[in-house]
């Protein structure tokens, strides 16, 4: 039998025991396992990543892939939580694999792990639905952190990558090509509720999820987003999320509980 106790610090801890004998012992709790697929055409890179990730108690490497076609097969067969995907692979490159994944598996979250610093590729990858971009020269602890963040539904970009992507979005002939217009941004300040919505968008929440979390209607969320887009001069949720990360608005915290 399992009973929840409330220690003095206010935290509950599951315990096993027999209420008749009074023999209670703390019950060990296990972290949820993050199932990972590593895709890179270099075996030495895959092996190094695997050894690094298996040092974490809550990570499980369920498979590896050496080219884009194999990525699609492994994702279909293994259904991983997070895919670490290189951009440069034979048969089908990372961007091609990412595009195909939208059709066969929308659950698996994708982190682009690349040596490339081509900001145009970063933008394409974000538009194709990846949840994070990590450069291969990134420190190991940040790779681990990016996986946990992405698995929890957040977007992960380091400061260098975010700046590159933001510059690409903000360029174009007269800013007429859908890029972010910095001159038009924040014509009026965001309200507290609008900042909460921006933070949730950057953390990967959908309209329905935000509505449930904030105890408002989905239409009200849409109305807020329309006003936010107008105030910030962004054209879609991706640009909003990137702007939020660039400005640190994604750290705005959880929406307040209903009173």
- Interval 36-47: pLDDT, tens: 999 999 999 999
Q: What is the mean pLDDT of residues 157-164?
A: 68
In the block, residue with structure tokens 């792990």: 113
Q: Which residue has the tokens 């498979």?
A: 63
Report the share of the chain in percent with pLDDT over 70: 72
Comparing 39-53, 58-72, 130-144, 198-212, the range with the smallest average pLDDT is: 198-212
Over 70: is that where the pLDDT of 177 sits?
Answer: no
Average pLDDT of the residues in 130-156? 90
Asked whether the whole model's pTM tops 0.85, one would answer: no
Residues 6+ apart with CB under 8 A from 256: 196
Burial 24-62 (b: 16+ CB within 10 A, else e): eeeeeeeeeebbbbbbbbeeebbeebeeebeeeeebebb
Domain edges within the chain: 1-30, 34-168, 180-251
Q: Is the pLDDT of residue 148 over 80?
A: yes
pLDDT band at 171 (very low <50, low <70, confident <90, very high): low
Question: Which pLDDT score is estimated for 20?
Answer: 52
Residue predicted with more confidence, 213 or 22 = 213
Whole-angstrom distance, CA of residue 90 vs CA of residue 70: 10
Does domain 34-168 fall under CATH 3.30.70.100? My reply is no
Q: pLDDT band at 28, cuts 50/70/90?
A: low
Specify the CATH number of the domain 180-251.
Answer: 1.10.10.10
């Amino acid at each position: 039998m399992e009973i929840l106790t409330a220690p003095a610090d206010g935290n509950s801890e599951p315990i096993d025991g027999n209420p008749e004998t009074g023999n209670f012992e703390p019950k060990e709790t296990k972290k949820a396992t993050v199932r990972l697929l590593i895709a890179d055409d270099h075996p030495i890179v895959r092996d190094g990543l695997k050894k690094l990730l298996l040092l974490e108690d809550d990570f499980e490497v369920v498979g590896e892939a050496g080219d884009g076609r194999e990525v699609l097969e492994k994702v279909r067969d293994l259904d991983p939580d997070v895919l670490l995907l290189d951009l440069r692979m034979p048969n089908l490159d990372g961007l091609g694999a990412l595009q195909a994944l939208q059709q066969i598996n929308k659950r698996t979250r994708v982190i682009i792990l690349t040596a490339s610093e081509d900001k145009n590729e970063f933008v394409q990858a974000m538009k194709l639905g990846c949840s994070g971009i990590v450069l291969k020269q990134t420190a190991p602890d940040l790779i681990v952190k990016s996986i946990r963040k992405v698995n929890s539904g957040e977007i992960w970009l380091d400061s260098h990558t975010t700046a590159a992507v933001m510059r690409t979005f903000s360029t174009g002939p007269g800013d007429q090509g859908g890029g972010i217009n910095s001159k038009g941004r924040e014509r009026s300040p965001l309200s507290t509720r609008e900042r909460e919505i921006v933070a949730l968008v950057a953390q990967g929440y959908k309209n329905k999820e935000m509505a449930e979390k904030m105890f408002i209607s989905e239409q009200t969320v849409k109305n807020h987003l329309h006003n936010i887009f107008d105030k910030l001069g962004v054209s879609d949720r991706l640009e909003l999320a990137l702007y939020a990360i660039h400005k640190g608005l994604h750290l705005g915290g959880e929406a307040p509980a209903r009173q």
